Amino acid sequence: MMMETLLLMVLLTHAAGTQDIHTVSKISVQKQQTITIPCLYDQKYVNYPKYMSSGGVFFFSHYVAHDRMSVVDNKTENVVTATLREAEVSDSGTYWCAVTLPGYDAATHLYLQVTEAEAELRVSSQSVSGYEGGNVTIRCHGASRWCKIRGSCVGRDGGSLERTAVHDDGDDLRVTLWQLQREDSGWYYCSNEDSQMPVHITVMEALDITQFTINPSYSTTPLSADRQFLWLLILGAMLPVTVCGAVMLIKARNKRKQRAESSNLHDDMNKQQLPKVNGKNNEVACENLYEFMTENKPNTQGNGKHNEVACEDLYETMTGNKPNTQGNGKNDEVACEDLYEIMNGIKRNTQLTATDNKNIYASMVRKVKE
């Protein structure tokens, strides 16, 4: 008798607790799919532990403890969500959303059915979001009604739900919520005569277009004071580097310009004064004189001088006498001083230097011009 009384008290207190916890009654899901089950509880349970258990009778049920099910308590919305991943047919059964309390646990139950085939009642996603003042649309395949958990329903057979319209699209029930408000956030469900499918709607704060720039293609929110200060520091640090880089580039460009002008001037001087040089740019060779006198390059095909031009070649060009021919007065090798003597009428008995060669060349140029 005492045992029966105790059991009756447990059942009565449990029945009272189920009024404070709300969920759907039956959910069908296809094998290997993921399903989320919401359990809404009263504010008075917010600080108590919550859990999911399975079994036909709550008093004899056991905790669900496997890695494919996770339980999350959202104390802000007063809802516990149990998510089962990769559902198996063996997962089918009665589940209890429960709250651990002193003396007894409050709980309410639902039945989960895992099928091999695609579930008759289904949605593309259990999570939908929108902005304040906007609209959201949910398609419930195989549904006849749309309801809010702990709220009213609207469907093919009538009913009403604020700012909610349903349209019959054959096998689908198209549900549209318009002019969304923040309080519209929460858990809803599609239902048919046999089961329900929970859907969570999140209404986010409306975007304030006054916080965006006038450029419609690249709108960005204004920077906070801290970010503005950070950008100013970065720009201030980059400014000296940018200025120094610009100055260095200008200097480098000017140096290149000066080198180019100097190179052009040097080339012009060489063209005007030294028709051909011997590699040192400071000594006039005999082939330069030959080229100037005859306007032929000594090593060009057809000019009769394919070898290096020596002073005797110039002597021959200027006097018409071969240096080693009988009677020309020059039976020895003609040196640069011989040319100097011919050009200036002054005999030189010393070896001419590079400067003397240049003087010979300059003297020849003057005489030719005269």
pLDDT digits (tens, 9 = 90+) for 33-91: 999 999 999 999 999 999 999 999 999 999 998 899 999 999 999 999 999 999 999 99
pLDDT tier for residue 335 given thresholds of 50, 70 and 90: low
- What single letter denotes the amino acid at residue 309? V
Is a pLDDT exceeding 90 seen at residue 309? Answer: no
Does residue 351 fall inside a structural domain?
yes
Smallest CA-to-CA distance from 176 within 222, 225, 139, 218 is with: 139
In a shared domain, residues 33 and 88 = yes
Smallest CA-to-CA distance from 147 within 20, 52, 34, 22 is with: 22
In a shared domain, residues 94 and 159 = no
Classified as helix, coil or strand, 236 is helix
User: Are 135 and 208 a contacting pair, CB within 8 Å?
Assistant: no
In a shared domain, residues 99 and 169 = no
In a shared domain, residues 50 and 135 = no
In a shared domain, residues 183 and 88 = no
| Packing angle of the helix pair 311-319, 286-294 (nearest 10 deg) | 30
In a shared domain, residues 114 and 192 = no
Pick from 85, 104, 119: which residue ends a domain?
Answer: 119
Average pLDDT over the chain, rounded to whole? Answer: 77
pLDDT of residue 187: 97
What total of structural domains would you count in the chain? 3
pLDDT of residue 357: 58
We report the CATH number of the domain holding residue 107 as 2.60.40.10
pLDDT of residue 225: 63
CA–CA dist 366, 238 (Å, integer): 64
In a shared domain, residues 95 and 148 = no
The tokens describing 234, both together, are 């970065």
In a shared domain, residues 31 and 115 = yes
CA–CA dist 143, 139 (Å, integer): 9
Rounded to a whole number of angstroms, the CA Rg of the chain reads 53
Beta strands in the chain (DSSP E): 21-22, 26-30, 35-41, 50-54, 62-63, 69-74, 79-84, 93-99, 106-115, 122-123, 127-131, 136-141, 145-148, 153-155, 158-159, 164-169, 172-177, 186-191, 196-204
In a shared domain, residues 80 and 26 = yes
- DSSP string for 9-52: HHHHHHHHHHTTEE--SEEEEETT--EEEEEEE-GGGTTS-EEE
CA–CA dist 83, 93 (Å, integer): 15
Pick from 210, 245, 267: which residue ends a domain?
Answer: 210
Is a pLDDT exceeding 90 seen at residue 213? Answer: no
pTM: 0.55
Residues in the chain: 370
| Packing angle of the helix pair 286-294, 354-369 (nearest 10 deg) | 10
With a pLDDT cut of 90, the percent of the chain lying above it is 46
Does residue 290 fall inside a structural domain?
yes
Which residue is associated with the tokens 């099910």? 69
In a shared domain, residues 175 and 150 = yes
CA–CA dist 30, 35 (Å, integer): 9
Q: Per-residue pLDDT tens for 240-299? A: 888 888 888 888 888 887 777 666 655 554 554 444 434 334 344 555 555 655 656 655
Pick from 119, 143, 164: which residue ends a domain?
Answer: 119
Does residue 19 fall inside a structural domain?
yes
311: domain range? 286-369
pLDDT tier for residue 218 given thresholds of 50, 70 and 90: very low
CA–CA dist 124, 170 (Å, integer): 16
Does residue 255 fall inside a structural domain?
no
* Per-residue exposure over 28-41, b if at least 16 CB sit within 10 Å of its own CB, e if not: bbebeeebbbbbbb
How remote is the C-alpha of 6 from its chain's centroid? Answer: 67
